[in-house]
């Protein structure tokens, strides 16, 4: 009680007390608030530090390890997970994340860890990286090693068309086209590896274009707009701050940096083999990797005797690669989190750009490789020059088809090419169907770099294949279709499908729809060389419909997300002047073939 009396008398001095005794309580209160402010500031800064996030708040060593080897290793966790905002908002968000502390205390984490929510990209990524910034093309070299006796080295070169920038500046293309356009998509799994539906908005035209994976059972009518996700930076750059290389990539990188000597026989193969083994824990994995030392001592005794240090260093580096990326207790390994940049180890770009996401008239989301980068070129260490092809202005119009990658295998006829040089005039077609990298058309990187995710088998479906063919600006007379195609179409219909006939002057007279003297420029002058004529061009000759174009298209039942109201082209149905399966058949069953 005496202590409380002293404290009370200190803060409530008598009127007779000296001036300093009267001021002392106020000084103590001020000092207390200053100390609290300083302590609070340091506490706030500490709780915003990567050390606190990674070890004190919620423990996830796998994310700390991947963060430390990422390009954003100097960026604080809170920059992305809390975001830059008014401090009051930051405090509120941090309080909301207190659940991670309780999850750590009571061990209620669900492994493997997956982020449940992130701040929108404009609040995090675009605070440093402006989406309006244009990026020049950049040359990339990727060094690889073959898992053979000599660890044969080769490099892959390609130029990446990053692009971006605003449309007002005449830019907005390249990979970063996605950052300048509104693109919505519907993933069916938490890791967003399956995307059966996507739609993009053309701001200038004011219309939406929907794409549905024709190999899925997805029905656009079953999804609500609020279930769609908007594409942003982290749709592709989802592991940019938590980098995890595959075993193959990690070993290639270590060998390129001479952390693992390339002089060690078959070290590429043995390293990847050791890293991908099935182990019960880190101890068992470490013992298996350590056995590489005894392997070289027994199998390569002479090399081991002279280069034992190199082998010890290699084993140490392989162990480090494993412990930096695999965490058995948290169920984390190389395959737990997909990195959506590229399309080598996971679908990545091919989640949508797979050739089978079609819009209503059968035109797919482009699967053309050179939309994002030049065709990759592979060279060995003895070659000093890598020739990249940038000039695409002289290529045939059919190469501009968004699905030419799918169709070119059908368009090539070896006998006709030998006679007329249809493909070999521009390309070396040696061993074109092997992927042995002996020529342009046997490019191993094209025929061995992610095509598993493209599922080319689905394109052998006659209806789908027919739609793709009809969207080609031209295709060769040598094009042959399977027996199922012939069974479903009459010879007359087949003939009408051949676009070469339509564009052959000798046969113009056989088409009532094409008058004598009609020239290509009558339809195509001033138009894109790879696109159908505009609606205005058709109406200029054939006149407006009785109902009016907008009223005519309005009659069709609208799609739940956009509708046909006034946004269809004449050529959507009247394609190449001949009969065409009504494009409505892509969504509606029992649509017959009709004469246009």
Report the range of poorest mean pLDDT among 10-19, 418-427, 582-591.
582-591
**How many domains is the chain partitioned into structurally?**
5
pLDDT tops 60 at residue 161? yes
Report the range of poorest mean pLDDT among 102-106, 333-337, 397-401, 474-478.
474-478
Structural domain contains residue 493:
no
Structural domain contains residue 496:
no
What CA–CA distance (Å, rounded) separates 21 from 12?
A: 9
Binned at pLDDT 50, 70 and 90, residue 479 comes out as very low
- The backbone region for 155, taken as left when phi is positive above 0, alpha when psi lies in -120 to 50, beta otherwise, is beta
pLDDT digits (tens, 9 = 90+) for 104-152: 778 777 888 788 778 888 888 888 888 777 778 888 889 999 999 999 9
Model pTM score: 0.72
What CA–CA distance (Å, rounded) separates 69 from 133?
A: 26
> What DSSP state is assigned to residue 489?
S
Binned at pLDDT 50, 70 and 90, residue 495 comes out as very low
Structural domain contains residue 285:
yes
Compare 299 and 395 and report the one with higher pLDDT.
299
Binned at pLDDT 50, 70 and 90, residue 448 comes out as low
pLDDT digits (tens, 9 = 90+) for 523-538: 766 554 434 566 677 7
pLDDT tops 60 at residue 576? no
Q: Which of 288, 305, 287 is nearest to 296 (CA)?
A: 305
Q: How many residues does the chain have?
A: 596
Question: In the listed set 302, 330, 358, which residue is the last one of a domain according to the structure?
Answer: 330
What CA–CA distance (Å, rounded) separates 356 from 484?
A: 20
Claim to verify: residue 367 and residue 226 sit in the same structural domain: yes
Compare 251 and 113 and report the one with higher pLDDT.
251
Claim to verify: residue 363 and residue 426 sit in the same structural domain: yes
pLDDT at site 284? 93
Binned at pLDDT 50, 70 and 90, residue 290 comes out as very high
Omega of the bond leading into 112 within 30 degrees of 0 (cis): yes
Taking residue 351's Cβ as centre, other Cβ atoms within 10 Å add up to: 24
What CA–CA distance (Å, rounded) separates 499 from 471?
A: 10
CB 236, CB 341: distance < 8 Å: yes
pLDDT at site 167? 62
pLDDT tops 70 at residue 35? yes
pLDDT at site 314? 95
What CA–CA distance (Å, rounded) separates 138 from 411?
A: 32
Report the range of poorest mean pLDDT among 165-169, 390-394, 540-544.
390-394
pLDDT tops 60 at residue 582? no
Compare 548 and 339 and report the one with higher pLDDT.
339
Binned at pLDDT 50, 70 and 90, residue 570 comes out as low
Claim to verify: residue 434 and residue 370 sit in the same structural domain: yes
Question: In the listed set 301, 330, 359, which residue is the last one of a domain according to the structure?
Answer: 330
Distances (CA, A) of 161 to 134, 237, 392, 398: 11, 16, 13, 22
pLDDT at site 451? 57
pLDDT at site 518? 61
What CA–CA distance (Å, rounded) separates 585 from 588?
A: 5
pLDDT tops 60 at residue 6? yes
Structural domain contains residue 477:
no
Domain that holds residue 383: 140-239+341-453
pLDDT tops 80 at residue 501? no
Structural domain contains residue 201:
yes
Claim to verify: residue 54 and residue 43 sit in the same structural domain: no
Claim to verify: residue 360 and residue 232 sit in the same structural domain: yes
Which stretch, 360-369, 444-453, 570-579, has highest mean pLDDT? Answer: 360-369
Structural domain contains residue 324:
yes
Percent over 70 (pLDDT), the chain: 70
pLDDT at site 474? 39
pLDDT tops 60 at residue 389? yes
pLDDT tops 50 at residue 433? yes
Claim to verify: residue 413 and residue 398 sit in the same structural domain: yes
Claim to verify: residue 212 and residue 351 sit in the same structural domain: yes
Claim to verify: residue 441 and residue 566 sit in the same structural domain: no
Structural domain contains residue 436:
yes
Looking at 174-259, list the stretches that DSSP marks H as alpha helix, in order from N- to C-terminal side: 177-180, 233-236, 247-256
Claim to verify: residue 548 and residue 429 sit in the same structural domain: no
Distances (CA, A) of 566 to 212, 548, 550, 552: 21, 10, 4, 8
pLDDT at site 268? 95
Instruction: Supply the DSSP string of 129-184, one letter for each residue.
Output: S-TT-EE--EEEEEEEE-SSTT--EEEEEEEE--EE--GGGT--BSTTHHHHSEEE
pLDDT tops 90 at residue 254? yes
Claim to verify: residue 55 and residue 25 sit in the same structural domain: no
Return the HEC string of 78-104: HHHHCCCCCHHHHHHHHHHCCHHHHHH
Distance of alpha carbon 559 from the chain centroid: 27
Structural domain contains residue 58:
yes
What number is the average pLDDT over the span 313-342?
90
pLDDT at site 391? 57
Claim to verify: residue 285 and residue 388 sit in the same structural domain: no
Claim to verify: residue 37 and residue 171 sit in the same structural domain: no
pLDDT at site 560? 41
What CA–CA distance (Å, rounded) separates 510 from 156?
A: 51
pLDDT at site 521? 66
Binned at pLDDT 50, 70 and 90, residue 483 comes out as low
């Amino acid at each position: 009680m005496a202590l409380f009396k002293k404290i009370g008398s200190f803060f409530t001095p008598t009127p007779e007390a000296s001036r300093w005794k009267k001021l002392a309580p106020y000084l103590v209160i001020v000092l207390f608030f200053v100390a609290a402010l300083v302590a609070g500031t340091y506490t706030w800064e500490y709780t915003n530090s990567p050390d606190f996030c990674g070890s004190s708040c919620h423990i996830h060593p796998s994310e700390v390890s991947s963060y430390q080897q990422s390009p954003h290793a100097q960026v604080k966790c809170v920059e992305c997970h809390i975001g830059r905002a008014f401090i009051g908002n930051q405090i509120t968000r941090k309080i909301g994340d207190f659940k991670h502390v309780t999850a750590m205390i009571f061990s209620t984490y669900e492994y493997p860890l997956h982020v449940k929510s992130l701040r929108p990209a404009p609040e995090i990524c675009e605070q440093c990286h402006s989406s309006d910034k244009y990026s020049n093309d950049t040359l990339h070299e990727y060094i690889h090693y073959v898992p053979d006796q000599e660890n044969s080295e080769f490099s892959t070169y390609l130029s990446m068309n990053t692009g971006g920038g605003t449309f007002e500046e005449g830019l907005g293309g390249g990979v970063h086209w996605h950052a300048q356009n509104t693109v919505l998509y519907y993933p069916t799994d938490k890791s967003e590896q399956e995307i059966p539906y996507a739609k993009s908005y053309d701001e200038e035209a004011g219309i939406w274009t929907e794409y549905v994976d024709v190999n899925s059972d997805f029905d656009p009518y079953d999804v609500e707009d609020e279930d769609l996700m908007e594409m942003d930076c982290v749709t592709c750059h989802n592991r940019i701050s938590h980098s995890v290389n595959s075993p193959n990539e990690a070993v290639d990188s270590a060998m390129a940096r001479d952390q693992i000597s390339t002089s060690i026989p078959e070290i590429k193969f043995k390293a990847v083999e050791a890293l991908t083994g099935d182990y019960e824990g880190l101890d068992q994995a470490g013992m298996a990797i350590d056995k590489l030392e005894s392997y070289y001592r027994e199998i390569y005794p002479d090399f081991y005797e002279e280069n034992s240090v190199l082998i010890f260093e290699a084993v140490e580096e392989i162990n480090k690669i494993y412990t930096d990326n695999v965490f058995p207790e948290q169920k984390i390994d190389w395959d737990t989190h997909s990195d959506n940049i590229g399309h080598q180890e996971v679908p990545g770009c091919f989640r949508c750009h797979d050739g089978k996401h079609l819009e209503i008239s059968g035109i797919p989301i482009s699967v053309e490789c050179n939309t994002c980068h030049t065709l990759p070129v592979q060279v060995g260490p003895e070659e000093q020059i890598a020739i990249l092809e940038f000039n695409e202005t002289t290529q045939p119009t059919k190469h501009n088809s968004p699905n030419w990658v799918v169709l070119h295998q059908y368009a090539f006829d070896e006998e006709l090419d030998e006679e007329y040089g249809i493909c070999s005039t521009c390309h070396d077609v040696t061993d074109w169907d092997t992927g042995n990298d002996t020529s342009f058309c046997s490019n191993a990187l094209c025929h061995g770099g992610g095509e598993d995710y493209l599922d080319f088998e689905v394109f052998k479906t006659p209806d789908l294949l027919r739609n793709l063919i009809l969207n080609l600006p031209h295709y060769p007379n040598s094009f042959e279709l399977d027996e199922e195609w012939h069974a479903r179409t009459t010879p007359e219909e087949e003939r009408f499908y051949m676009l070469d006939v339509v564009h052959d002057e000798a046969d113009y007279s056989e088409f009532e729809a094409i008058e004598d003297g009609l020239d290509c420029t009558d339809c195509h002058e001033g138009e894109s060389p790879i696109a159908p004529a505009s609606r205005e061009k058709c109406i200029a000759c054939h006149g407006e419909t009785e109902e009016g174009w907008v009223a005519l298209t309005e009659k069709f039942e609208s799609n739940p997300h956009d509708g046909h109201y006034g946004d269809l082209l004449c050529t959507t149905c009247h394609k190449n002047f001949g009969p065409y399966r009504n494009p409505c058949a892509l969504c509606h069953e029992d649509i017959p073939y009709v004469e246009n």
